[in-house]
């Protein structure tokens, strides 16, 4: 039995940091474990231009803990009006590393998202020419489509036609949740990767409802059936370089998560690597955690792998009931439960 894991310092290839006091509250959790992170642009208002991304990047750098060298990798929020010229500016900036596709209304702060991919052809063509990855929230938003089928339908109706029309476009299928997505990414032609969250590796949709509705397990895309969770574990632990770590850690105040409407997102940045270690150990695949966490994402984004290392030790720790969140409370995923691993730095 392994009691100590030493890994190349990992990166988080899908992260929500928010802004202002919320940013200051959550950034230390990520910076403690990860060297870099792809930072999502769905602020209010969204980060739609290179200039706005530069400003947001400076706010993140200013909020870093003293002595931290954490590097935010910025993204632009794709809209119906994103121009080819803006994509060129982003590609030339050196700090914008991807563009994010949110179908309008798909998730938190996605109201300004894309209503019709046909309106984005100029931007998508420019991304293809500049080698700029498109990070995809892969769900359709048609209310006639069952919530649990929206990822599968997105593949058939949106993703396959998109990649047929833009065959050189580099695509990251974000936070995949189904066997359908894992199979597609594994078998598709061209440059495609996928991020997988710790919560989708560890939990199925029962977690949302056991003992009553549990809002802190509610995320989008929503947790799926057990067979889908098993398929994600198989993909993540396979050693296939198309699958890599992306927490999709999404902080929301306790009061907002537990309100009449609630909101989608699980906060996992506090204990991200311990959660992934738990999932990989259950699959008897700890020997493949380093590549998934520290190698494959950097390779896809054409960035150098990190040089430093981090350590996790086998030791029990209780996940806090809540964390400070800019004057409010933030409840981490599985609060109050015990983990068998501890990140020691």
**What is the set of active-site residues?**
248
Separation CA 166–CA 51 (nearest Å): 27
The answer to whether the annotation marks 137 as part of a ligand binding site is yes
Q: Is 271 annotated as a binding residue?
A: no
Query: Is 175 flagged in the annotation as binding?
Result: yes
Q: Is 130 annotated as a binding residue?
A: no
180 is in an annotated binding site: no
Asked if residue 14 belongs to a known ligand binding site, the reply is yes
Pairwise CA distance, residues 235 & 238, whole Å: 5
220 is in an annotated binding site: yes
200 is in an annotated binding site: no
Backbone angles phi, psi at 57, to 5 degrees: -60, -40
63 annotated as ligand-binding = no
Q: Is residue 51 part of an annotated ligand binding site?
A: no
Strands 309-318 and 4-8 come out as antiparallel
* Binding-site residue positions for substrate: 16-18, 42, 137, 220, 252, 264
* Binding-site residue positions for Zn(2+): 14, 16, 100, 137, 175, 248
* Binding-site residue positions: 14, 16-18, 42, 100, 137, 175, 220, 248, 252, 264
């Amino acid at each position: 039995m392994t009691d100590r894991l030493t890994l190349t310092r990992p990166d988080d290839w899908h992260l929500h940091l928010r802004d202002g006091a919320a940013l200051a509250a959550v950034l230390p959790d990520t910076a403690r474990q990860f060297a870099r992170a792809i930072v999502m642009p769905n602020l209010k208002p969204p980060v739609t231009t290179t200039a706005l991304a530069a400003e947001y990047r400076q706010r993140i750098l200013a909020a870093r803990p003293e002595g931290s060298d954490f590097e935010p990798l910025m993204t632009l929020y794709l809209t119906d009006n994103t121009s080819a010229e803006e994509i060129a500016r982003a590609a030339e900036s050196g700090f914008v590393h991807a563009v994010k596709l949110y179908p309008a209304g798909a998730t938190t702060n996605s109201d300004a998202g894309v209503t019709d991919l046909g309106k984005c052809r100029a931007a998508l063509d420019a991304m293809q020419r500049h080698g700029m990855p498109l990070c995809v929230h892969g769900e359709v938003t048609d209310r006639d489509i069952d919530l649990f089928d929206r990822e599968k339908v997105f593949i058939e109706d949106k993703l396959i036609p998109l990649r047929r029309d833009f065959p050189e476009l580099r695509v990251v299928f974000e936070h995949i949740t189904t066997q359908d997505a894992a199979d597609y990414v594994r078998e598709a032609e061209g440059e495609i990767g996928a991020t997988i969250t710790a919560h989708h590796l560890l939990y199925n949709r029962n977690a949302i409802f056991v003992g009553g509705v549990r809002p802190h397990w509610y995320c989008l895309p929503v947790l799926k059936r057990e067979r889908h969770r098993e398929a994600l574990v198989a993909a993540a632990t396979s050693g296939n370089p198309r699958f890599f770590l992306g927490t999709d850690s999404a902080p929301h105040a306790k009061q907002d998560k537990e309100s009449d409407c609630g909101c989608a997102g699980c906060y996992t940045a506090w204990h991200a690597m311990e959660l992934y270690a738990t999932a990989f150990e259950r699959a008897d695949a700890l020997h493949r955690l380093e590549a998934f966490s520290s190698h494959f994402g950097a390779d896809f984004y054409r960035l150098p792998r990190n040089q430093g290392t981090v350590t996790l030790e086998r030791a029990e720790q209780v996940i806090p009931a809540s964390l400070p969140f800019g004057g409010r409370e933030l409840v981490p995923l599985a609060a109050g439960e015990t983990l068998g691993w501890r990140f020691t730095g």
